[in-house]
């Protein structure tokens, strides 16, 4: 693919996150929001109007078949990620699919197998991994400048009034704190400490049968530990604190979105700030475009293995807390 080629994006599902992503796409060089699709044509046109998109479709399949589209961003509730991704991959469209990638590891394995079979790019939209402050933290850990990570504490809790129909509480839409926000503390553990040797999880299941909060303890063979918490009924500080052999890294609130980092070493603290003029979704989009320009079918950062580890961890936690989606 030519380096200067414009990448034509399609957005599937015109909800809240789709708006944020569409706004940030305007900051991505060589990106064009070419088409959008909603379950109703009125909503698609309304959404498209905001971003000067002329190709607006009233169903998802037409989008997946549009020959002018290079990559489709899937922004539907969790339970539809699998079927939407399979449809796009079947029509040989590259896919950036929102988190969680799917509802369980079997679905993720099928999605990856189809991407490989059809030789098309597929990536989970774990946007945090691409943010400047998070890359900075990963670099410190990988370089071992502060030694090995000994402990991680991370939380992500917000308070939403109970609404059984919202995707956050509705079990048939994949509701609950773990898949919605608990995925971020778990991902932080995976990306800084790796896959754990022991997992202990507890949760409070609410009236709709989904976890309103969830606590996870991870243990590693080298003695490292992680204490993770998520909630949809309680606001928490939403920070991540890593204690390493030679210092501490605090990823300031909210740690999963563009933020700052405080490094403490030898009793002295330094605040490192990062200028991000967007919501932060442009970074993952830039990476996807780079991968497409290089004709890759798998991300060099958010690899299939990482997504498989993440969904396996989520499945294990769900089994322990007795949260089963049908
Ligand atoms: N990366 C992040 O920072 C971030 C932040 C928030 C959410 N997310 C992820 O993005 C996904 C969507 O979240 P959201 O907050 O944008 O949700 P949302 O506002 O409810 O939007 C979801 C969209 O999915 C489509 N949809 C298809 N079938 C649906 C159904 N049966 N019920 C409801 N909606 C349906 C709808 O679009 P149409 O009506 O246009 O078809 C709807 O607007 C979730 O998987 C979530 O985990 C990621």
Domain boundaries, the chain: 7-125, 132-275+310-321
Ligand 1 neighbourhood includes 38 CB (under 6 angstroms)? yes
DSSP 300-326: SSS-HHHHHHHHHHHHHHHHHHT----
- Give per-residue pLDDT as tens, 153-189: 999 999 999 999 999 999 999 999 999 999 999 999 9
Ligand 1 neighbourhood includes 185 CB (under 6 angstroms)? no
pLDDT average per 10 residues of sequence, the chain (326 residues): 79 98 98 98 98 97 98 98 98 98 98 98 98 98 98 98 97 98 98 98 98 98 98 98 98 98 98 98 98 97 98 98 95
- Give per-residue pLDDT as tens, 82-140: 999 999 999 999 999 999 999 999 999 999 999 999 999 999 999 999 999 999 999 99
Measured between alpha carbons, how far is 85 from 100 in angstroms, rounded to an integer?
12
Task: Let me know how many helices (H) and strands (E) the chain has, helices first.
Answer: 10, 14
Check: pTM over 0.85? Answer yes or no. Answer: yes
Ligand 1 neighbourhood includes 127 CB (under 6 angstroms)? yes
CA of 157 to the centre of ligand 1 (A): 19
CA of 142 to the centre of ligand 1 (A): 34
- What kind of architecture, by CATH, is found in domain 7-125? 3-Layer(aba) Sandwich (3.40)
Are domains 7-125 and 132-275+310-321 of this chain identical in fold? no
Q: Which CATH class is domain 132-275+310-321?
A: alpha beta
Residue with the nearest Cα to atom 4 of ligand 1?
Answer: 17
Residue with the nearest Cα to atom 6 of ligand 1?
Answer: 17
């Amino acid at each position: 693919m030519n380096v200067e080629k414009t990448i034509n994006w399609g957005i599937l599902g015109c909800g809240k996150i789709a708006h944020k992503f569409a706004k940030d796409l305007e900051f991505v060089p060589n990106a064009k929001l070419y088409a959008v699709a909603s379950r109703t044509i009125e909503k698609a046109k309304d959404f498209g109007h905001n971003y000067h998109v002329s190709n607006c479709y009233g169903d998802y399949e037409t989008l997946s078949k549009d020959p002018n589209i290079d990559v489709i961003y899937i922004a539907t509730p969790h339970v539809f990620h699998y079927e939407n991704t399979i449809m796009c991959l079947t029509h040989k469209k590259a896919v950036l699919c929102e988190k969680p990638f799917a509802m369980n590891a079997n679905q993720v394995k099928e999605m990856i197998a189809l991407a490989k079979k059809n030789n098309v790019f597929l990536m989970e939209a774990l946007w945090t991994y691409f943010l400047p402050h998070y890359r900075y933290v990963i670099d410190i850990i990988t370089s071992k400048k502060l030694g090995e990570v000994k402990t991680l504490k991370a939380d992500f809790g917000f308070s939403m009034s109970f609404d059984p129909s919202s995707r956050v509480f509705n079990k048939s839409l994949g509701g609950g704190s773990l898949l919605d926000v608990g995925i971020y503390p778990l991902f932080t553990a995976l990306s800084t400490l790796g896959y754990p040797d022991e997992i202990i999880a507890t949760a409070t299941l609410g009236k709709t049968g989904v976890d309103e909060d969830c606590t996870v303890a991870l243990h590693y063979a080298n003695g490292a530990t992680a204490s993770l918490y998520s909630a949809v009924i309680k606001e928490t500080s939403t920070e991540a604190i890593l204690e390493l052999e030679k210092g501490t890294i605090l990823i300031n609130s909210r740690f999963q979105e563009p933020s700052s980092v405080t490094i403490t070493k030898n009793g002295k603290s330094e605040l490192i700030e990062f200028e991000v003029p967007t919501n932060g979704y442009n970074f993952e989009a830039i990476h996807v475009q780079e991968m497409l320009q290089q004709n890759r079918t798998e991300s060099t950062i958010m690899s299939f293995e990482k997504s498989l580890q993440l969904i396996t961890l989520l499945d294990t936690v769900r089994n322990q807390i007795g949260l089963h989606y049908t």
